[in-house]
Chain A
Amino acid sequence: MNEKFRIRAKRNDRIAQWMITLGGMLVICSVILILVLIAGTTLPLFKAPRAEIFAKFPLPKEPTQEVLALGVDEYLETGFFIDRQGRFNFFENQQGLASDQMAAQPPGDGIKVLKLESFGRMQFGLLWEDGSLSLERVVYKPFFDEARGNRRSIEHTLERDAFFPATTTGLPVQSMGRVAEGGRKTRVDLLTNGQLLINQVAVSESLFGDPEEESFSESVVVPAGASLTAMALSSDGTKLYAGTSSGRLLRWSLAEPGTAELLDDLRAFDDQRTITALTLVFGDYSLAVGDDRGEVTTWFPVRIEENRAGKQLQRIHDLSSHNGTVVMIRPSLRDKSLLSLSEQGLLRLDHMTSERHLLELGNHEPLTHYNFSTRSDGIIAMTSDHRAIIWRLDNPHPEVSWGTLFGKTWYEGYDAPEFVWQSSSGNDDFEPKLSLTPLIFGTLKGTFYAMLFAVPLALLGAIYTSQFCRPRLRGIIKPAIEIMAAIPTVIIGFLAALWLAPLVEKSLGAVFMSIVFIPVGLIIAVIIWQTLRRHEPLKRIERGYEFLAVIPVIILSLAIAITLGPLAENLLFDGNLKQWLFTEMGTRYDPRNCIIIAFGMGFAVIPLIFTIAEDALSNVPPALRAASLACGASRWQTVWRVILPSASPGIFAGSMIGFGRAVGETMIVLMATGNTAIMDLSIFNGMRPLSANIAVEIPEAPHGGTLYRTLFLSAVILFLMTFVVNTAAEVIRQRLRKKYGRF
Chain B
Amino acid sequence: MKKYWRTGEPCVWGTGAALAVTLLIAATLIVVVMVNGLGVFWPAAIEKLELKDGSALLGELTQRETVHEGEEFRRQYKVGNRDLYGLDFRWVDEADILAVSQPSDALLLEREEYGNFYGFLNRFEDGGAGGDMLGALRNSHAEVMAEKALVRGMNEEISRLSYQLDRLRRNLLKAEYQGLGPDHPKILEIKRNQAILQDDFSHLVARQNQAAADMRARKAIFADVNGREREIALADIVAIYGPNQMSLVEKAGVYLHRLKELFVGEPRESNTEGGLFPAIFGTIMLIFIMSLFSFPLGVIAAIYLREYAKEGMIVRLVRIAVNNLAGIPSIVYGIFGLGFFIYGVGSSIDQMFFPETLPTPTFGTGGILWASLTLALLTVPVVIVSTEEALGAIPREIREGSLALGSTKFQTLMRILLPMASPGIMTGLILSMARAAGEVAPLMITGVVKLAPSLPIDGNFPFLHLDRKFMHLGFHIFDIGFQSPNVEAAKPMVFVTTLLLVLIVLTMSSVAIYLRNRMKKRYTFSTF
Contacts and interface: CB of A to CB of B under 8 A. Distances in A.
Interface of A: 9-10, 12-13, 16-17, 19-21, 23-24, 26-28, 30-34, 37-38, 41, 456-461, 463-465, 468-469, 475, 477, 479-495, 497-499, 518, 522-523, 525-526, 530, 546-551, 553-555, 566, 570, 575, 599, 603, 606, 610, 615, 619, 634-637, 640, 657, 660-661, 663-667, 670-671, 691, 694-695, 698-699, 703, 711-712, 715, 718-719, 722-723, 725-727, 729-731, 733-734, 737, 742-743
B4 interface: yes
Interface size class of B (residues with CB under 8 A): 35 or more
A468 B33 CA distance: 32
A354 to B, nearest CB: 24
Identify the interface centre among B16, B410, B437, B501: most chain A CB within 10 Å of its CB. Answer: B16
A727 B324 contact: yes
B445 A495 contact: no
A491 B332 contact: no
A10 B406 CA distance: 11
A27 B322 contact: yes
A2 to B, nearest CB: 13
B481 interface: yes
Given A24-B300, A606-B22, A637-B8, A719 B322 contact: no
Contacts of B326: 726
Contact of A488 (B69, B335, B474, B514): B474
Given A495-B33, A698-B338, A483 B410 contact: no
Contact of B12 (A489, A551, A636): A636
A555 B159 CA distance: 57
A549 B12 CA distance: 12
Contacts of A661: 327
Contacts of A17: 308, 409-410
Given A24-B309, A482-B513, A490 B477 contact: yes
A654 to B, nearest CB: 12
Interface string B475-512: 10110011000010001001000100110011011100
Which of B36, B323, B502, B514 has the most C-beta atoms of chain A within 10 angstroms of its own C-beta?
B323
A53 to B, nearest CB: 30
B210 interface: no
Interface string B425-451: 000000100110111110011000000
B contact patch SS: helix
Contacts of A493: 478
Contacts of A699: 444-445
Interface of B: 1, 4, 7-26, 29, 32-33, 36, 69-70, 297, 300-301, 303-305, 307-309, 316-336, 338-340, 343-344, 377, 380, 384, 407-411, 413, 431, 434-435, 437-441, 444-445, 474-475, 477-478, 481-482, 487, 491, 494, 498, 501-502, 505-506, 508-510, 513-514, 517, 526-528
A566 B70 contact: yes
B336 A730 contact: no
A28 B510 CA distance: 30
A727 to B, nearest CB: 6
A722 B339 CA distance: 20
Closest 9 CB pairs of A and B: A664-B329, A488-B438, A636-B8, A24-B304, A460-B18, A23-B300, A547-B16, A634-B7, A666-B441
A465 B19 contact: yes
A465 B8 CA distance: 17
B204 to A, nearest CB: 36
A664 B332 contact: yes
Given A23-B297, A24-B318, A722-B327, A547 B17 contact: yes
User: Interface on chain A toward B: helix, strand, loop, or mixed SS?
Assistant: helix
Interface centre among B300, B324, B339 (most CB of A within 10 A): B324
Contact of B19 (A38, A464, A523): A464
B408 A13 contact: yes
Given A16-B413, A526-B10, A694-B445, 14 more contacts: A23-B300, A481-B22, A483-B510, A488-B501, A489-B438, A489-B440, A495-B29, A499-B36, A518-B17, A530-B4, A550-B20, A665-B329, A670-B478, A712-B335
A715 B332 contact: yes
A488 B440 contact: yes
A480 B498 contact: no
A136 B107 CA distance: 73
A49 to B, nearest CB: 23
Given A17-B308, A26-B297, A723-B324, A464 B317 contact: no
A551 B307 CA distance: 47
A640 B11 CA distance: 10
Which one of A34, A468, A475 has the greatest number of beta carbons of chain B within 10 Å?
A34
Nearest to A650: B528
A475 B520 CA distance: 12
B439 A31 contact: no
A21 B327 contact: no
A45 B281 CA distance: 41
A488 B439 contact: yes
Contacts of A26: 297, 301
Contacts of B408: 9-10, 12-13
Contacts of B317: 28
A468 B16 contact: yes
